[in-house]
């Protein structure tokens, strides 16, 4: 009888140990694309790619408020400078003109794909004549210094056409070269993370970098301001933390209620403890 009991306890402990090892080595993923079809259509593939690593899914909109406009602009400048040094971000934009050789080279290399002026007529004899004439005419304009080095490399002026398409009045308010809200009560930054939008842990790490950088700057400058963040990654991190806190709270409350009821029923802590062993075992095996 005792040997049978010892064997049962030993097997039970071995089962718990095996389950613990499996749980430790299991990789839990929060990737929502796992719920997509295993053989998606072309449209679904585009949707999955955008959901995981699309530009919009990796954007974080940052707002700084709670101080005068000059202070907000100063914080925005310093914050942008420090965040551009971080590998966690591929883009940090606060409205300032930043000399980025890599991006300028990208625009030049892909000018024919990006230029709004390129169409079927652009490279006909008449189209080339008009385009080159426009480029030559620009030499006598205030933009001549910009056009001259590009004329031999880009005679049709696609780079200039592309840059002109970026210059429009629609956009955030500019104060001293930095994006601010219309009333100047908030400075604005736009960031793009290196990690995919579906990588919630990576997004949380990016949030921590932004928060830490902001706190260091405000402490060093001895100013008081508030940091706001929004974006798909922020929503994912916030939702996950909310769910975790709710599950934790409900688990604690339900456990206390169940144990209280069992104590009232059995009037013995030992009996209640023995009764929780099968429940605990089932939870471990279920995971």
List the chain domain ranges.
49-237, 240-287
pLDDT tens track for 84-93: 999 999 989 9
Each residue's pLDDT tens digit, 63-72? 999 999 999 9
**pLDDT-derived band at 226, boundaries 50, 70, 90:** very high
- Is the confidence at residue 117, as pLDDT, over 60? yes
Place of tokens 């080159």: 132
On whether the CB atoms of residues 233 and 58 are closer than 8 A, the answer is: yes
Long-range residue pairs from 145-148, CB within 8 A, at least 24 positions apart, any chain:
none
Structure tokens at 256: 């206390």
State how far the alpha carbon of 43 is from the alpha carbons of 16, 33, 37, 46, 76, in Å.
45, 14, 12, 5, 39
Q: What rounded mean pLDDT belongs to the chain? A: 84
Q: What is the mean pLDDT of residues 33-51?
A: 74
Other residues' Cβ atoms within 10 Å of the Cβ of residue 36: 14
Task: Report the C-alpha gap between 272 and 239 in whole angstroms.
Answer: 35
Least confident of 29-33, 48-52, 68-72, 139-143: 29-33
Query: 151 near 135, Cβ under 8 Å?
Result: yes
**Rounded percentage of the chain residues whose pLDDT exceeds 90:** 29
The token pair that represents 217 in the structure block: 């700057």
Is the per-residue pLDDT at 1 higher than 60?
no
pTM of whole model > 0.85?
no
Residue 93, Cβ density class (10 Å: 0-12 exposed, 13-18 middle, ≥19 buried): middle
């Amino acid at each position: 009888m005792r040997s049978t009991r010892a064997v049962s306890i030993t097997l039970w402990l071995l089962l718990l140990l095996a389950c613990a090892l499996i749980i430790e080595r299991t990789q839990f993923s929060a990737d929502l694309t796992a719920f997509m079809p295993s053989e998606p259509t072309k449209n679904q593939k585009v949707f999955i790619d955008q959901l995981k690593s699309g530009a919009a899914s990796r954007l974080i909109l940052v707002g700084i408020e709670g101080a005068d406009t000059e202070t907000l602009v100063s914080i925005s400048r310093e914050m942008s400078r420090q965040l551009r040094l971080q590998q966690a971000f591929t883009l940090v934009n606060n409205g300032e003109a930043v000399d980025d050789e890599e991006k300028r080279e990208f625009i030049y290399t892909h000018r024919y794909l990006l230029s709004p002026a390129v169409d079927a007529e652009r490279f006909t004899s008449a189209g080339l004549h008009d385009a080159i004439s426009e480029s030559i005419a620009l030499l006598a304009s205030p933009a001549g210094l910009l056009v001259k080095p590009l004329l031999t490399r880009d005679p049709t002026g696609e780079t200039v056409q592309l840059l002109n398409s970026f210059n429009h009045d629609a956009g955030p308010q500019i104060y001293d070269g930095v994006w601010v809200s219309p009333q100047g009560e908030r400075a604005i930054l736009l960031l793009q993370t290196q990690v995919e939008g579906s990588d919630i842990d990576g997004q949380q790490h990016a949030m921590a970098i932004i928060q830490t950088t902001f706190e260091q700057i405000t402490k060093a400058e001895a100013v008081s301001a508030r940091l706001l963040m929004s974006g798909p990654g922020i929503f994912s991190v916030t939702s996950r933390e909310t769910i975790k806190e709710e599950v934790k709270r409900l688990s604690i409350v339900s456990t206390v209620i169940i144990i209280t009821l069992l104590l009232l029923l059995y009037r013995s802590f030992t009996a209640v403890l023995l009764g929780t062993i099968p429940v605990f075992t089932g939870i471990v095996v279920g995971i």
